[in-house]
Amino acid sequence: MDLRISGETALILGGTKGLGFACARELSAAGVRVAVNGRNADEGAHAVALLGDGAIFVQGDLADPDQPSRLIEEAQRQLGPLHILVTNAGGPPTGEFTDHTVETWRKALEVNMLSAIQAARLLLPGMIEARYGRIVNITSFAVKEPYPNMALANGVRAGLTGAMATLAREVAGKGVTVNNILPGLMATGALDRVIRARATRDGITEPEASARMAASVPAGRLGTSEDFGPLCAFLCSRHADYITAQNIAVDGGLIRGLL
């Protein structure tokens, strides 16, 4: 399918590996010129090499509140106006509610909520002027069904969901769509921390913890980046003009809710 976005430009926060890179890869295959962000220069160089001509890397840590504006300025200097934004950040530490200090909550808010909000605020004027904009936030299935031992993620991801639901309706008539993709238990580096914590808590090996997680998914396996990237690209396409304010799970049936 021709997504009709060849020649557009995109910034993928946290886009050098995992699900963020899966989005970058599919967008690049659709002819989009992508800027991928990450903290590690070597990982950034590797990602750009895999993506090929037209892709760039903009280094920066989303834990620093000054970084989103700098990243966007650098990406637009090299690629021109950005009309696609994919927000993504590594999940906060695992643990129960009382395990975390207020300062840990603040850091989680900065990385997993406020960085996405700031990037969206900075890019919205250009999207509205062009009458075309796509914001896709990679959040978590936990916004629909809180997951044990993940108090920070359960809380902060839900906060971002509420903010983006409001934004989506405010810009729906201006050519801009805002959607969230909710990954389930995906076999990426981000899940490794959860697997280690589960293994330690339950006194089992990490492979056993991983196998138990896979068995909890109706599809019978953990998800992969190949399961995820195509949906991200479609939501950024011209075919998705009428899809906005949605939370779409890629979870193999893990979420038990009806909606």
Q: How far apart are CA 182 and CA 164, in angstroms?
A: 13
Domain residue spans of the chain? 9-184+225-250, 188-222
DSSP structural state of residue 87: E
Give me the tens of pLDDT residue by residue for the chain, a chain 259 residues long. Answer: 999 999 999 999 999 999 999 999 999 999 999 999 999 999 999 999 999 989 999 999 998 999 999 999 999 999 999 999 999 998 899 899 999 999 999 999 999 999 999 999 999 999 999 999 999 999 999 999 998 889 999 999 999 999 999 999 999 999 999 999 999 999 988 888 889 988 999 999 999 999 999 999 999 999 999 999 999 999 999 999 999 999 999 999 999 988 8
Token representation of residue 176: 């801009």
Summarize pLDDT for 197-249 with one digit per residue, the tens.
889 999 999 999 999 999 999 999 999 999 999 999 999 999 999 999 999 99
Radius of gyration of the chain (CA): 18
Four-point Cα dihedral 170, 27, 12, 180, nearest 10: 40
**pTM here?**
0.96
Tokens 């997951």 identify what position? 147
Positive/negative CA dihedral, 32, 109, 185, 204: positive
H helices within 96-150, ranges in order? 102-109, 115-130
DSSP structural state of residue 131: T
In CATH, the number for domain 9-184+225-250 is 3.40.50.720
